[in-house]
Amino acid sequence: MVSFTLDARAGRARAGRLQTPHGLVLTPVFMPVGTAGAVKAVTRDHLAQVGAQIVLANTYHLMLRPGDTVVRDLGGLHEFTGWSGPFLTDSGGFQVWSLTALRRLDEEGVRFKSHLDGSSHLLSPERSVEVQQNLGADVAMAFDECPPWPATKEVVAAATDRTTRWAERCRRAHSRSDQALFGIVQGGVHEDLRRKSASEIAGLDFPGLAIGGVSVGEPKEDRLRVLDWLDPVLPDDKPRYLMGVGTPEDLLDGVARGIDMFDCVLPTRNARNGQLFTRFGRMSLRNARFARDPLPPDPDCPCPTCRSASRAYLRHLHLSGEVTGMVLATVHNLFFYLDMMRRMRQHIVLGRFEEFRRETLGSLQAQAAEGDAS
């Protein structure tokens, strides 16, 4: 029910097709984050307008509220939310990892207290799979242990070994034929651990593989080294998902190193905080220079926001705390990200990706050297 086909290459960059029960996803792809089953500040119609292909939903949050059995009984995520396109659900591992003061980890799983009401829960590999099967996403993720950064190599090695054992348990527990379960590679910033993890997780024959533990505070240079180590090791015929990354520059660098799928809260979170992404750098709506500016955020951008709103109006909405301002900013940022992914794919197919990457990075970096586009 879920398959992946490579259409073109340009160096290490790849253009592919991920076929799911709820539609075709053209890669490389960015997945907007819909933590509670909704992308913050936008509707399903907005997502369609900006060209979203697949949305990420959060296992931890949906398990706690409204509850995975509630979603199951109401037809799964697609019927419950009204989003007819593909969904990917994370395993909940990163969220419980971040609850350091509220959780206890052992071989069985992670025992934690809900951030909502303090109730006690156990999230194990089997329970994570059960929740994701109840949610009914097209792609589910194996439950893993994300080691902190910085950490000793011994700590990272123990987490990496446990991730493999938990991946085996997830594989045994998973039974939905209409849902693909992806494995997750860990190993911190250690080449031998990353290669070992990739070999073990690939050996379990997951239909796709993700690279975890690369958005926990490590330097960007270390993250890029991890991708360089893994590119020749990961199966060539399966989708590769870089979890929790990142900036426009991160996406360009990731695609250049063979990554097919990305997610990050950055475009939506920054929009709500008054920061817009443009082809010429980031724009802060708080800047007083925009108070009387009649231009759209990006005159060359065809998104609904840039076709209808001026910088002055968006600044006014942001400073007034108007929800409309958050909506318009989020629509623009998501369009920027998704359009950049579309253009990356086009240039891979044309065999001109590296030229596109250099030109785009040069534009972004030139603006950064002058200061914010603000």
90 as an active site residue: the answer is yes
Q: Per-residue DSSP letters for 198-211?
A: HHHHHTTT-SSEEE
Given the residues 68, 90, 144, 253, select the one marked as catalytic: 90
State how far the Cα of 20 lies from the Cα of 10, in Å rounded to an integer: 25
Residue 28 carries which DSSP code? S
* 120 sits in which H/E element: strand 120-123
**Cβ contact 250:259 at 8 Å:** no
Q: Does the annotation mark 237 as catalytic?
A: no
Rounded Cα gap, residues 315 and 319, in angstroms? 6
Which is catalytic among the residues 138, 144, 263, 298?
Answer: 263
Tokens 């369609």 identify what position?
48
Is the distance from CB of 132 to CB of 89 less than 8 angstroms?
yes
Half-sphere exposure (Cβ direction) of 48: Cα atoms closer than 13 Å = 7
Burial of 132-151, coded b for 16+ CB within 10 Å and e otherwise, reads bbbbbbbbbbbbbbbbebeb
CB 251 within 8 A of CB 341: yes
- Beta-carbon contacts of 47 under 8 Å, excluding residues fewer than 6 positions away, are 32, 39, 55, 83, 85, 334
CA distance 106 to 122: 11
Residues forming a β-bridge with 276: 283
Cis amide prior to 32 (ω within 30 degrees)? no
What single-letter amino acid sits at 87? F
Element (H, E) at 337: helix 323-349
Residue 279 per-residue DSSP state: T
Question: Quick one: CA dihedral 59, 18, 304, 255, positive or negative?
Answer: positive
Residues with catalytic function: 90, 263
